[in-house]
Amino acid sequence: MQIKIQPDLPFKGKSVRADASRKSSKSSPPATDGSSSFLSVLEEVLPSKEPANHSLQELWSILPQTEKEFLEHRTEEKLAAYKDLVVAIARQTLERNLRVAKIKRQRPGHDEKELTVVRILDQKLARMLELIRSPENSAFALLREMEEIRGLLYAGQA
C-alpha cells in the first residue's frame, strides 16, 4: 500500500514558529505575551465567528495554560490533563482536516495498485497540529518521556 498526501490549499500564510508566534520578513516589535500571539494566530486559523470552530478553538485556547501548568507542576494530574487535551485536539483536528480515499491505478503491462490518498483540507490547521509534536515543545517532549518511562515500568512489572 502506498500513501500519497495532497494538500488542497497551499500554505500561503506567514511562517509560524514552534511557540506559535509569527515569523515575518519585516521587523516588528516582539510580542510581550506569548499566549496573546498564539491566540491571534489561533483566531486567524480558526475564526471564532464560525460556529463549527467553537469546540476546537476552545481546546486550542486552553492549551498554552495547560502546558504551562504541566511544566511548572509535574504531577500525575497535570500529566493526565495535558495528555487528554492533546489527544482531544489531535482527534478533532484530524477528523475535521483529513480525508482519506482509496484509488486504484493500473499502468499498461503492470499489476493494478491500490493507493491511499490523504487530503489535507487546511494546511494552517495541519501546521498547528505539527507544532504540538515539535521537538521545541518541551511540554510534549516531557509527556512523551514520561509515557515512555511509564511503559518501561509497567513492562518491568509484567
Is 139 or 28 the better-scoring residue by pLDDT? 139
Is pLDDT at 121 greater than 50 in this prediction? yes
CA angle 56, 62, 65 (to 5 degrees): 155
How large is the angle between the packed helices 123-132 and 76-97, nearest 10 degrees?
160
Given this model, what pLDDT does residue 158 score?
62
3-class SS at 4? strand
pLDDT at 145: 78
| Statement: the pTM of the whole predicted model exceeds 0.75 | no
What digits encode the pLDDT tens for the residues 23-36?
443 333 333 455 56
Beta strands in the chain (DSSP E): 2-7, 98-105, 113-120
Residue 140 CB neighbours (<10 A): 19
CA distance 49 to 26: 29
What burial letters (b/e) apply to 145-154, b meaning 16+ CB within 10 Å?
ebeeeeeeee
- Domain spans in the chain, listed from the N-terminal domain onward: 2-8+34-157
Segment 95-115 shows an average pLDDT of 89
What is the dihedral sign for C-alpha 124, 129, 131, 134?
negative
